[in-house]
Amino acid sequence: NLAETDGRVSDDIIRFYGTMAETGVGLVTIGASAVSVEGGSTANGMHIGPARYEDGLKRLADTIRQNGALSSAQIFHVGAQGNTHYTGQPVLGPSAYTCPDIGIKARPLEIPEIERIEDDFAAAILSGLASGFDFVEVHVAHGYLLHQFLSPFFNHRNDAYGGSDENRLRIIRQIADKV
């Protein structure tokens, strides 16, 4: 929650993670950075992907490296755990679902929207690496969007992205193929 309101890296983030790197750890992971505007979970969460974020990301990766550690960027899309109040965007998921913690009903994604999110993940991975991060971790847990696609609890689709294990895994395979 230290990013600028538009998701860009702030001086506070650079100081925070730079200080972590100074402790002698081998790897500093930047947690839960959204791949798209609707994919964030907080008002001041970091974003990775479009070129407008790269200058700050480069400064961040360089600061971590200069302070003695490798760097990793964790990327995610919050999916049906989203909050319109933070993002100003609709809450989206593989199927209609109301997160009990937030209380906002997710709208099921349409195929072109899923393909756009796949592109967002691929762009975020490439942007993170181009910005100098040593690793990019794709967050596929904790009930966020990619986990929602994998889980029959969240995913009630009857198209190419739902039903069988192969179909529920499709979004992750598509992201890997696009990278």
Active site residues: 144
> Do 70 and 136 meet the contact criterion of CB atoms below 8 Å apart?
no
> Do 86 and 39 meet the contact criterion of CB atoms below 8 Å apart?
no
Distance CA 175, CA 111 (A): 14
Q: What is the DSSP letter of 142?
A: T
Q: What is the DSSP letter of 8?
A: -
Q: Which of 117, 126, 32 is nearest to 74 (CA)?
A: 32
Q: Which of 175, 109, 115, 90 is nearest to 148 (CA)?
A: 109
Q: Which of 139, 107, 117 is nearest to 36 (CA)?
A: 117
Residues recorded for the chain:
179
> Do 33 and 74 meet the contact criterion of CB atoms below 8 Å apart?
yes
